[in-house]
Amino acid sequence: MEYNTNIIGRKNEQDLLKEYCESAKAELVAIYGRRRVGKTYLVKQFFNNDFDFYFTGSFETPRNTQLTLFKKELERYSHVKRLKPKDWYEAFDQLRDYLSTLNKNRIIVFIDELPWLDTPKSSFLSAFSYFWNSWASSQNNLKLFVCGSATTWMLSKLVGDKGGMHGRVNRQIYLRPFTLAETEQFLLKKNIDWGRYQIIEAYMTMGGIPYYLDMLEPSLTLNENIDHLFFEEGAALHTEYNFIFRSLFKDSKIYRSVVELLSTNRNGLTRAEIQSAIKIDDGGMITEVLDNLCKCDFIRRYSAFGKKEYGQLFHLTDLFSLFHQQFVDKSDGQDAHFWSNMQDNPRRNVWQGYAFEMVCLHHIAQIKRRLGISGILSEVCAWSSKPFVDKNGTEYKGTQIDLVIDRRDDTINLCEAKFTSEPFAVTQEYADRLNTRRETFRAATNTRKSLHTTLITTYGLKRNKYSQTVHREVTMDDLFAEG
């Protein structure tokens, strides 16, 4: 099997699909990731829709209806009329009968949106488990691929199941959002030839999600596209945020509360601070919520510098959610050109600064490559301090650093991101701030490592007498390097 040219990037994932298909034993492959990230597209394109059986679950659809749809799909593939199965055990028994008639070296079965089939009291998972354990797992030519946007269900009920499916999912593929490089390739394929500054703006709005990027129109400017997709009457993505949470989590309200809280706290919050702010007494519940949001790529957990479990911070990293909270949720729907009219608004500038920091967090590998430290073991973390006085009586003000790269070669990069429309000029005031921040970090942590002030900018630094304050620089072109 060769790489499918219709698929942007995803070469590692295609290699895995090829490997699993060519193995000498039965394979149960779970493919999971954030909703709209392209799981279904990847599988369908890779196999050119040439399946021996394909079925997809429907959102909030009763078991009885799902079984009817399953029967119709089975009839379409087998060309045999069948009775409607009374339950999922009978449905999988019919699937087994059909697959047993196929005399092929390789049988490909794809069941999409598996979590949506597991409706209350449906016994779907136990029936699926019985089908796999009792027959399918012994068919060396059978390759069963399952997908699901509900990452928490896929990980807890399928991959991490303690019952009949325990240890049965021997293959996993986790699909992440596009990188900037993949986003650029995707847009070029759509005949959208924007500069990298605009591509980053689009990325800050849609977060590298292929489904959203595919909605962009080549005939419109970026501002016009965003107005069309988010702010016009009946805009396609205006209500998408609400649907994402309803489709992923049973108790979506608490999940939304955490995301909304973190969208207004740029420096991140600890678990205790989040629990206190949203007023939940159940510590186990908040732990589960945070874990699930991390697994679904909405937030990330970072250790504070020099600490592991204690002092962990949670940051919002889903750019689509941030944009919705900052603008879409607050728009009254009366201005169809809301985004275009926000061009020089200070709110937009503040959001750009925050969102660009998040873009950098999504491209740590590219930053390390530019710094020449890809092969050096390092830890990425955050750091902050309250005002303090050192042992010599020197007073230090509180400060915070969003991105610290702590390296094993006795060097630490203290990173700061700047999203500007021209080369960034370091002023004396800013140089003083960088120097003070570096010395505060040194005094607070007592580190003996070399501290490199590192600036991540769009167009690089404008050379002047203060630019030497910055030891290393990374530009947006570096962020577009392929992973």
**Residues 266-281 pLDDT 10s:** 878 889 899 999 888 7
Instruction: Report if pTM > 0.85.
Output: yes
Is the per-residue pLDDT at 168 higher than 80? no
Determine the average pLDDT of the residues in 17-28: 94
Ranges of each domain in the chain: 11-175, 178-362, 366-479
Greater pLDDT, 81 or 166: 81
- Burial of residue 327 (CB within 10 Å: 0-12, 13-18, 19+) is buried
Is the per-residue pLDDT at 167 higher than 70? no
Is the per-residue pLDDT at 161 higher than 60? no
Is the per-residue pLDDT at 164 higher than 60? no
> Residue 296's pLDDT band (boundaries 50, 70, 90)?
confident
Determine the average pLDDT of the residues in 432-451: 94
User: What CATH class has 178-362?
Assistant: mainly alpha
Quick check: 88 and 123 in contact, CB under 8 A? yes
Superfamily of domain 11-175: P-loop containing nucleotide triphosphate hydrolases (3.40.50.300)
**Residues 334-368 pLDDT 10s:** 789 999 998 889 999 999 999 999 999 999 999 99
What is the predicted pLDDT for the residue at 268?
85
What is the predicted pLDDT for the residue at 408?
92
Closest CA to 384 of 394, 371, 397: 397
> Residue 244's pLDDT band (boundaries 50, 70, 90)?
confident
What is the predicted pLDDT for the residue at 301?
87
- Mean pLDDT computed over every residue of the chain: 91
Neighbours of 346 (CB within 10 A): 8
Share of the chain above pLDDT 70, in %: 95
- CATH code of domain 366-479: 3.40.1350
Greater pLDDT, 265 or 141: 141
**3-class secondary structure per residue, the chain:** CCCCCCCCCCHHHHHHHHHHHCCCCCEEEEEEECCCCCHHHHHHHHCCCCCCEEEECCCCCCHHHHHHHHHHHHHHHHCCCCCCCCCHHHHHHHHHHHHHCCCCCCEEEEEECHHHHCCCCCCHHHHHHHHHHHCHHHCCCEEEEEEECCHHHHHHHHHCCCCCCCCCCCEEEEECCCCHHHHHHHHHHCCCCCCHHHHHHHHHHHCCCHHHHCCCCCCCCHHHHHHHHHHCCCCCCCCHHHHHHHHHCCCHHHHHHHHHHHHCCCCCECHHHHHHHCCCCCHHHHHHHHHHHHHCCCEEEECECCCCCCCCEEEECCHHHHHHHHHHCCCCCCCCCCCHHHCCCHHHHHHHHHHHHHHHHCCHHHHHHHHCCCCCCEEEEEEEECCEECCCCCEECCEEEEEEEEECCCEEEEEEEECCCCCEECCHHHHHHHHHHHHHHHHHHCCCCEEEEEEEECCCEECCCCHHHCCEEECHHHHCCCC
Share of the chain above pLDDT 90, in %: 71
